[in-house]
Structure 1
Amino acid sequence: MTDIKIFIVDDSAVVRQVLTALLADIPGFKVIGSAPDPIFAQAKMEKDWPDVIVLDIEMPRMDGITFLRKLMSERPTPVVICSTLTARGAEVTMQAMSAGAVDIITKPTVNLKGFLQEAQSQVADAIRGAARARVKKTAPAGPKATLTVNPKLNADSVIAPSTATTIGETTDRVVAIGTSTGGTQALEYVLTRLPRTTPGIVVVQHMPEAFTAAFAKRLDSLCQINVKEAEQDDRVIPGLALIAPGGKHMLLRRSGAQYRVEIKDGPLVSRHRPSVDVLFRSAAQAAGRNALGIIMTGMGDDGAHGMKELHDTGALTVAQDEASCVVYGMPKEAVKLGATDGELPLSAIPELIIHSPTRAKFLKG
Structure 2
Amino acid sequence: MLNDLPIRKIIHVDMDAFYASVAQMDNPELRGKAIAVGGGGTRGVVSAASYEARKFGVKSAMSGRLAIKLCPDLIFVKTDFERYSEISKRIRQIFFEYTDLVEPLSLDEAYLDVTNNKIGLPSATLLAQKIRQRIFDEVGLTASAGISINKFIAKVASDYNKPNGQKTVNPEDVLEFLEVLDIRKFYGVGKVTAEKMYQKGIFTGKDLKSKTLEYLKDNFGKSGSHYYHVVRGIHNNEVKPNRIRKSLAAERTFSENLSSEVFMLEKLDHIAEEVSKRLHKTKVTGKTITLKIKYSDFTLQTRSKTLPYYVSEKAILLETAKDLLYQDALNNSVRLLGISLSNLNTDVKTIKKSEKETVSVQLKFEF
**Bin of the TM-score, shorter chain as denominator length:** under 0.3
TM-score w.r.t. structure 1 length? Answer: 0.23
Larger radius of gyration: 2
